Amino acid sequence: MPHAGRSLPLAERLRLREEFFRAAGIDPRQFLQAFDNIPGLFYFVKDGQSRTMINTREYAQVLGVRRDAQTVGKQPHEYLAGALAEHYEQDDRKVYTTGQPLRNIIEIGFNEQGVPDWIITDKYPLRNARGRVVGIIGTMQSLDQRVQRLPHLGEVGKAAAFIRANLGERLLLADVAQHVGMSERHLQRLFHKLIGMAIQQFIVHSRVHAAAYELMRSDRPLVDIALMFGFSDQSAFSNTFRKLTGLPPREYRRQHRLAGAGTP
């Protein structure tokens, strides 16, 4: 045993790690169990063809299946609507082909109630012993839940709350910075570090997010929804909404009425 305060060389420590996992014969699924009871956090593991190997039990239930095993071996298009499935599979292919992770992807997914929601997704390549990418491991978390837990982060949480409370107003970076008493540059840098996007991006995503819920809840005309959430007109609203969700507002409303949202 080495003396207290002294560490083994890096190569030796890496060898010990490899020997530990190999000798113990540890099932890698045990690592994922630690995430099973974190509210609002889903994980998944896929093979090289985007087929689910493992996912969080709760996420399987969100997708309308009783057991997580029912999604094993299935590609996204076998349990999700076409446009959403294609979007997921495109991102999977990027990770497979580049070998680089995709982080802070803001996209439409489903929350714990099975309702369409903005989701933050991280995807990382899984490599075999030879370094070849053979799959993906990733996490999904509700953007809304992440933001709601930000108040303890001081100015960033305060900025996010201010934005979400004033979506119908003309919002500029200067307005947000003045509200929290911080320089624009410093706030922008800190906000991007903690949220994963620039403040202006967050404003746009928050407006579309709020509009998506309104589309599901009401029959309010599109022009009214556009103005309600700070868009200059219906055309600007429709173009931005389609760019971020992959669907025009009318089609999104048709597909994602609350009554049927839990069974994609």
Q: Are residues 106 and 66 in the same domain?
A: yes
Burial code (b: 16+ CB inside 10 Å, e: under 16) for 5-38 equals eeeeeeeeeeeeeeeeeeeeeeeeeeebeeeeee
pLDDT, tens only, 118-166: 677 889 999 887 889 999 999 888 766 666 665 556 788 889 889 988 9
155 inside domain: yes
Q: Are residues 133 and 66 in the same domain?
A: yes
Q: Classify 112 as helix, strand or coil.
A: coil
Check: pTM over 0.75? Answer yes or no: no
Q: Are residues 154 and 73 in the same domain?
A: no
Report the amino acid identity of residue 220: R
Closest to 231 measured CA to CA, from 242, 246, 217: 242
Q: Give 33-42 contacts, CB < 8 A, sequence gap 24+.
A: 35/139, 39/112, 39/145, 40/111, 40/112, 40/141, 40/142, 40/145, 40/146, 41/139, 41/140, 41/141, 42/139, 42/140, 42/141
Q: Which domain holds residue 187?
A: 150-260
Residue 167, beta-bridge partner list: none
83 inside domain: yes
Q: Are residues 171 and 117 in the same domain?
A: no
pLDDT, tens only, 210-251: 898 899 889 999 999 999 999 999 999 999 998 877 789 998
Closest to 210 measured CA to CA, from 190, 189, 231: 231
Name the phi and psi angles at 97, rounded to 5.
Answer: -80, -35
